[in-house]
Amino acid sequence: MSAAAAQPYEPDISSTKRGGKAARRGVLYLAAIFFSVFAALPFAWMVFTVFKSNQDLYNGQNVPFRFNEGSPTLDNIRLLWNQTNYPTFLQNTVVVSILVVIITLLVAVPAAYSLTRLVGRWGENLGIAIFLVYLIPPTLLFIPMTRVVAVLGLKNSMFSMVVVYPTFTIPFCTWLMMGFFKSVPWDIEEQAMIDGYSRVGAIWRAVLPVSLPGILTVIVFTVALTLHEFVYALAFVTSSSEKPVSTGVTTELIRGDVFFWQSLMAAAAIVAIPVALLYTLFLDRFVAGFTLGAVKG
C-alpha cells in the first residue's frame, strides 16, 4: 500500500463553510421575500379594489387580484372626489399636520436638548416620565381634553386637534430626541463656542445639522400619527367641513349598512401613497434617527 493511500480523508472545511453560509443567506432571502409579499398584499388588494365594479368585487368566486368582470373603472374615484367632501378632508388634514409638526418641533427639540445637556442625571428620569405620558390611552384623556377644548372655544373646529395632538406627539418625540442628542459629542458644541458662537449659535450651527436624521424621524412620526388618529377627531369635530380624512371618510362613505368599499379604499390609497413615498425617500435618515437615538450617552 502506498503512502498516499494510507493518509486519512480530510474534508474540505472551506467549502463546507461556504455551503453553510450560502444556505443561511438563502433562508434569509426567502424569509425577506415572504414578509415583503405578506406586507404588500393588503396594499395590492386595496389598489385593485379601487378600480373594481360592484359585481366584480362582491362575487366571491372572483380572484381578488385581477379584474374578472369588465375593465377597470374610475367611477369610485369620481364618487369620492365629486360626491363627498374628501378634498376638504384632505385640506384639513394637511393644515393640522403642518401645525402639529411645527408645534412638536418647537417644543420637543429644545426640551430634549435641555434635558440631555443641562439637567444632568435628572434629565433621563424626566425623559422617562415624559415618555410615560405618551403611553396613557387616548380613551382616558379625551374626556378631560373635551373640557380644555370647550374652554378654549374650539369645539367643532379642526384647530381643536392642533391643540390636542401635541399632547401625545411631544412626549414621544422629546424622548426620541433625548436619545439622539446623547449620541452627539460635546466636542462639537465646545469647538463651535471656541470659534466664537454663543450656546444658541452652537446649537443652531453645529448640533441641529448633525441631528437632522432625528428631526426627520420626529417629522415623519408626527405626520403619520396625525393622519391615523381617530378618537380625538371623532370626539371633538362633528361638522363635515372641519373633519380630517380619518373621520370624514368613514362618516360619508358608510351610510347605514351600505359600505362604499371601492371609494373607501381610494381614500386610503390617496393618503397612504404620499406617506409611503415619504418613508421611502427618507428611509436611511429615518432608520439612523431611531438607531442613533437608541445609543446610551
Tell me the average pLDDT across 98-114: 91
- From residue 279, how far is each of 59, 199, 274, 275 by CA, in Å? 35, 33, 9, 6
pLDDT for res 8: 57
pLDDT for res 42: 85
Backbone phi and psi for residue 198, each to the nearest 5 degrees, phi listed first: -75, 175
What share of the chain has pLDDT > 70, as a percent?
A: 86
Query: Which amino acid, one-letter code, is at 61?
Result: Q
- CA nearest 233: which of 213, 247, 253? 247
- From residue 31, how far is each of 28, 42, 105 by CA, in Å? 5, 18, 38
pLDDT digits (tens, 9 = 90+) for 202-231: 888 888 888 888 888 888 888 888 888 888
User: How far apart are the C-alpha atoms of 177 and 200, rounded to whole Å?
Assistant: 17
pLDDT for res 1: 47
- CA nearest 88: which of 252, 277, 265, 260? 252
Look at 18-27, 154-163, 242-251 and tell me which has the smallest mean pLDDT: 18-27
Given a cut of 50, whether residue 64 has pLDDT beyond it is: yes
Pick from 49-63, 91-105, 133-147 the range whose average pLDDT is largest. Answer: 91-105
User: How far apart are the C-alpha atoms of 149 and 142, rounded to whole Å?
Assistant: 10
- Chain-wide mean pLDDT for the chain? 81
HEC secondary structure over 254-277: EECCEECHHHHHHHHHHHHHHHHH
- From residue 240, how far is each of 81, 89, 224 by CA, in Å? 14, 8, 22
Confidence label for 121 from pLDDT (cuts 50, 70 and 90): low
Look at 65-74, 80-89, 144-153, 262-271 and tell me which has the smallest mean pLDDT: 65-74
pLDDT digits (tens, 9 = 90+) for 44-61: 888 888 898 888 888 878
CB 113 within 8 A of CB 164: no
What is the value of pTM for the model shown? Answer: 0.79
Tell me the average pLDDT across 95-124: 84
Class of residue 178 by CB neighbours under 10 A (exposed 0-12, middle 13-18, buried 19+)? buried
Residue 58 grid cell: 362582491
- CA nearest 223: which of 175, 171, 271, 177? 271
Query: Which amino acid, one-letter code, is at 174?
Result: T
Confidence label for 112 from pLDDT (cuts 50, 70 and 90): confident
Given a cut of 70, whether residue 12 has pLDDT beyond it is: no
User: How far apart are the C-alpha atoms of 240 and 250, rounded to whole Å?
Assistant: 11
Given a cut of 80, whether residue 149 has pLDDT beyond it is: yes
Confidence label for 94 from pLDDT (cuts 50, 70 and 90): very high
pLDDT for res 115: 82
pLDDT digits (tens, 9 = 90+) for 151-210: 888 888 999 999 999 988 888 888 888 877 877 777 787 888 887 878 788 888 888 888
DSSP, collapsed to helix, strand or coil, labels residue 107 as helix
Tell me the average pLDDT across 276-294: 66
User: How far apart are the C-alpha atoms of 204 and 207, rounded to whole Å?
Assistant: 6
Confidence label for 297 from pLDDT (cuts 50, 70 and 90): very low
pLDDT for res 285: 64
Given a cut of 60, whether residue 281 has pLDDT beyond it is: yes
Tell me the average pLDDT across 93-102: 94
